[in-house]
Chain A
Amino acid sequence: MDVAFIIETIIKIVVLLLVFSALAGFGTYFERKVLAFMQRRLGPMHVGPYGLLQIAADGVKLFTKEDIIPQNVVAPIFKIAPVITAATAFMAAAAIPFLPEFTLFGYTVRPIISDVNIGVLYVVGVMAIGLYGPLLGGMASANKWSLISAARAASVFISYEVVTGLALLAPIMLVGSLSLIDMNNYQSDGWMIWSQPVAFILFVIATFAETGRTPFHLIANDHEIIDGFGTEYSGMRWGLFFIGEYANMFFISFVTALIFLGGFGDGSLLGALALLGKVAFLFFFFLWTRAAWPDVRPDQLMWLCWKVLMPIAIINIVVTGFVVMF
């Protein structure tokens, strides 16, 4: 392994961390603004022009706030839980190609940290490990709301992992590879969403559960269980949960766009812009649904997963199998 490769990888990792931490911050601003406009409000307006510096103000606040470790919590686990959420979210990004290859000063840059041959499996798997953040944080918090939230987190994530996996299986069978770049290239003559519409819908539903966004926002449901697993957290530890959640939303938008919506196409500049546009739309969709839809109950969520989505996913796989075979 030569030095240039190592340096390049480290630079890529640093860029990715910086860009997506910043994007996570910007995502909160964007979310507040979009939700506000949809609800006929103005959103943040006072810090900076149109409230743009609100992100900086929030950052300063999170960094300088006291990091409270309450009595009776299991301190080591309580402290490590937010790190797990943020770390796994960023680790999952290692196998995602964020842009097509491009040449910078005569040097070909591949904007993917590592094109492992089990890309999709890796991304989905590592994102699933993020479950331990809410689970451990909630159980270590010595707080009833947190405990309920931890139980919900475990049940929701594990159930919807099944749907995610099964929904992705059908496109994987068509492509015959687990690399996200291969997936992208496979769609040069037609987006996957047209050949696998059912898998797309199932996957989108599952992503809402995996990222804990609104129709399935029950692991940190403010009006039922305060902030769920985050109730006892303060300062930057709570901020890490937040960064993890928003980074996850961005990454899962990338994955959805790459697998189902044609990705970056042929790799031209236009294709790259199209990918960013698709990701932006998917991210906007996360916010949009939050303004429009109510939350479902945990039991309804379980019902939906095991009795509706999973059978449909299996039927979809069987049908796809027959199509591939004959």
Chain B
Amino acid sequence: MSMEQFQDRNVGTQNYFTVDIEDYPVTGMDKFRRVLKRTFRGELFVGLWVVLREMFKFDIHTVQYPKEKLPIGPRYRAIHQMQRLWESGTERCIGCGLCEKICISDCIRMDTRIDDNSRKEVTQYSINLGRCIFCGYCAEVCPELAIVHGGEYENASEQRAHFTLYEDMLTPVDEAIAQKQKEFPGFGAITPHEDERVTKTPLAY
């Protein structure tokens, strides 16, 4: 079914049909007739048949939750992850601080320093998940696709403030080199056919 029907607010132009509701009986005779009709039409047996059929079909819809889990959408925004580069396995985060800046609940705290190669390096990075509203802005703003959302949604904590550290979020280096790291397809990520769309910047005219 398309959404068109629901978005059209001009009541009366859609192909609605009205449910057949009988007039409420007023006279005693009408009421008596309705009782007779309801008694002998066998609607009760229709109900019995329906549930019996379902029992024999045994089309069980239960998900036994802790053992089985429903798949979540790939764009689901759960606990953050820090990605690494595909081939070298170096950390993607360049310490630009944009995520810290944009975070609307002010829950990212980071510290950086200039390392021996004059590159910026993250020394401290933590997210207070008690404050985070999982809005996804940090993942969207990150120029390096470094901070993304993962799929881990079962969290519990003894207190409201619950911090996750850079090391916990970072993809293990062997996983990154083995190309097992998953890209986040959500907001701010590269779109599927990016390769075809990129045009090289000409170096000379």
Contacts and interface: CB of A to CB of B under 8 A. Distances in A.
B54 A38 contact: yes
B10 interface: no
Interface string A11-52: 000000000000000000000001011111110010000000
- Judged by DSSP, the binding face of B is helix
A291 to B, nearest CB: 4
A268 interface: no
B69 to A, nearest CB: 16
Interface in A274-326: 288-289, 291-293, 308
B53 to A, nearest CB: 9
A292 B52 CA distance: 9
Nearest to A34: B55
Contact of A41 (B44, B52, B61): B61
B44 to A, nearest CB: 6
Interface centre among B51, B58, B62 (most CB of A within 10 A): B51
A34 B44 CA distance: 18
Given A288-B48, A289-B48, A292-B50, A42 B55 contact: no
Contacts of B48: 288-289, 292-293
Interface in A104-157: none
Given A34-B55, A288-B52, A40 B47 contact: no
A40 B60 contact: yes
Interface residues of B, number: 15
Contacts of B88: none
Contacts, number: 39
B52 A38 contact: yes
Given A38-B55, A288-B52, A293 B47 contact: yes
A190 to B, nearest CB: 25
Contacts of A41: 60-62
B62 A293 contact: no
Given A288-B51, A291-B51, A292-B51, A42 B64 contact: yes
A309 to B, nearest CB: 12
Contact of B47 (A34, A42, A292): A292
Contacts of A39: 51, 54
B4 interface: no
A291 B54 CA distance: 11
A42 B51 contact: no
Contacts of B47: 292-293
Nearest to A307: B35
B23 interface: no
A41 B55 CA distance: 10
Interface string B174-200: 000000000000000000000000000
Nearest to B50: A292
A39 B44 CA distance: 17
A56 to B, nearest CB: 21
B119 to A, nearest CB: 54
Interface in B54-82: 54-55, 58-62, 64
B162 to A, nearest CB: 29
A221 B64 CA distance: 29
B54 A42 contact: no
Given A45-B64, A288-B52, A293 B44 contact: yes
Contacts of A289: 48
A29 B35 CA distance: 37
B64 A37 contact: no
Nearest to B45: A292
A40 B51 CA distance: 9
B52 A42 contact: no
Contacts of A38: 51-52, 54-55
Contacts of A40: 54, 59-62
A45 B64 CA distance: 9
A149 B12 CA distance: 47
Interface string B28-53: 00000001000000001001101110
B58 A37 contact: yes
Contacts of B58: 37
A48 to B, nearest CB: 15
Given A37-B58, A292-B51, 6 more contacts: A34-B55, A37-B60, A40-B62, A45-B64, A288-B48, A308-B35
10 contacts: A37-B54, A37-B55, A37-B60, A38-B51, A41-B60, A41-B61, A41-B62, A42-B60, A289-B48, A291-B51
Report, nearest first, the 5 A-B pairs whose CB atoms are least far apart.
A292-B47, A38-B51, A42-B62, A291-B51, A37-B55
Interface of A: 34, 36-42, 45, 288-289, 291-293, 308
